């Protein structure tokens, strides 16, 4: 691997690199539910028990509005999105509109027998979350039985011909398993594997699930050493790169929030991205307002931040490509988006 292939996009939330390569088309993530059958240590949402959810017709209205506003990919997320009874109908509806639908699952899809149904509905990509190649380590991070459930799901989706990507959240608890995880993804028939650096939000923050610079470097070295058939991508590792790698990595735009990425929460509220949703930064309501209007008018602060006119970014040699890093991390650390990414080690 080289850094350009590996670091296609730095954002820890944007799902497109691992579902569709380097493309920068407009992606919308929709959170169908916050219910989840697991309670993962690294879950940025602290998903679990759930709350009021929208019906099929409300979601169809939102998905049509996202399509009308330019979205080309729709990514179904939760909680565990396969717990939503609306999922197959919404996948089918998305395909009929011309959207490319993808899904992230902890594996429940296979054990609940809806893998075939989702394939028939037209799902195009499936991302399965596994956090370690070792069942004991994985289940300690993701919940009892999750390793078997996820492995079974990956095999089943692959067998019916759907492209499967494995997703691993990398922390100090599993960084040394990156190479073995690539081997596991290969064995499971996946087309790719995506490594996401743990973000200190939700459960990960509560559980103090960190990724030290040293361990992140060890994870990156394992990724770069890979020479096989799988597409390997990494999200959220930019500030663990060395300066020479940092300037070469093809992360042309660091933050896609509100520009080529948008998120709709389970109650229809619109956000720039998943982490801004966790921080409660609402841009609008997809059921009450025009989606195009929201996109054109409610993200000017993020647009302003991309100019990186704050210290030390304004005088940084990387500012045109880095753009100050992640605004959600800045907000989480400093209570303002107009501050440098707290992970930045370049200055």
List residues near ligand SF4 by CB under 6 A. 11-14, 254-257, 261, 273, 275-276, 308, 312-313, 316, 318-319, 322, 324-328, 340-341, 344, 346-347
**Chain-centroid distance, C-alpha 346:** 25
Q: Which is nearer to ligand SF4, 118 or 302 (CB)?
A: 302
Q: Which is nearer to ligand SF4, 77 or 255 (CB)?
A: 255
- Asked whether 235 and 195 are in contact (CB, 8 A), the reply is yes
Identify the three-state secondary structure at position 263. strand
- To ligand SF4, the closest distance from the beta carbon of 330 in angstroms equals 8
Which helix (H) or strand (E) segment is 58 a member of? helix 56-68
Q: Which is nearer to ligand SF4, 265 or 324 (CB)?
A: 324
- To ligand SF4, the closest distance from the beta carbon of 27 in angstroms equals 10
Q: Which is nearer to ligand SF4, 13 or 198 (CB)?
A: 13
- To ligand SF4, the closest distance from the beta carbon of 281 in angstroms equals 9
- Closest Cα partner for 194 from 284, 114, 129, 276? 129
- To ligand SF4, the closest distance from the beta carbon of 102 in angstroms equals 17
- Asked whether 55 and 109 are in contact (CB, 8 A), the reply is no
Q: Which is nearer to ligand SF4, 224 or 253 (CB)?
A: 253
Ramachandran region, residue 38 (left: φ > 0; alpha: ψ -120 to 50; beta: rest):
beta
- To ligand SF4, the closest distance from the beta carbon of 80 in angstroms equals 21
292-309 CB burial, b ≥16 within 10 A, e <16: eebbeebbeebeebbebe
Of the chain, the end-to-end C-alpha distance in Å amounts to: 27
């Amino acid at each position: 691997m080289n850094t350009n292939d590996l670091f296609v996009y730095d954002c820890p939330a944007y799902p497109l690199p691992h579902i569709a390569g380097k493309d920068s088309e407009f992606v919308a993530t929709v959170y169908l539910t916050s219910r989840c059958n697991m309670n993962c240590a690294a879950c940025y949402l602290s998903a679990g028990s759930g709350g009021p959810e929208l019906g099929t017709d409300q979601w169809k209205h939102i998905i049509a509005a996202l399509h009308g506003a330019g979205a080309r990919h729709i990514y179904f997320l939760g909680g565990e999105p396969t717990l939503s009874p609306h999922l197959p109908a919404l996948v089918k509806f998305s395909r009929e509109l011309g959207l490319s639908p993808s899904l992230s699952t902890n594996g429940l899809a296979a054990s609940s027998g809806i893998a075939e149904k989702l394939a028939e509905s037209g799902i195009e990509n499936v991302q399965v979350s596994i956090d370690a190649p070792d069942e004991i380590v994985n289940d300690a991070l993701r919940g009892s039985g999750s390793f078997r459930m996820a492995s079974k799901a990956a095999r089943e989706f692959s067998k019916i011909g759907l492209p499967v990507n494995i997703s691993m959240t990398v922390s100090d608890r599993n960084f040394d398993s990156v190479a073995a995880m690539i081997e596991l993804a290969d064995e499971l028939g996946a087309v790719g594997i995506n490594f996401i650096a743990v973000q200190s939000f939700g459960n990960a923050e509560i559980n103090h699930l960190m990724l030290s610079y040293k361990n992140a470097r060890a994870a990156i070295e394992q990724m770069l050493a890979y020479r096989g058939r799988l597409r390997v991508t990494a999200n959220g590792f930019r500030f663990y790169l060395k300066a020479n790698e940092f300037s070469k990595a093809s992360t042309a735009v660091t933050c896609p929030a509100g520009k080529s990425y948008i998120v709709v929460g389970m109650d229809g509220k619109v956000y720039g991205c998943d982490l801004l949703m966790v921080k409660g930064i609402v841009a609008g309501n997809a059921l009450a307002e025009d989606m195009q209007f929201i996109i054109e008018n409610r993200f000017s602060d993020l647009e302003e931040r991309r100019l990186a006119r704050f210290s030390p970014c304004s005088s940084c040699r990387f500012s045109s490509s880095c753009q100050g890093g992640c605004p959600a991390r800045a907000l989480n650390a400093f209570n303002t988006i107009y501050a440098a990414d707290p992970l930045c080690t370049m200055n």
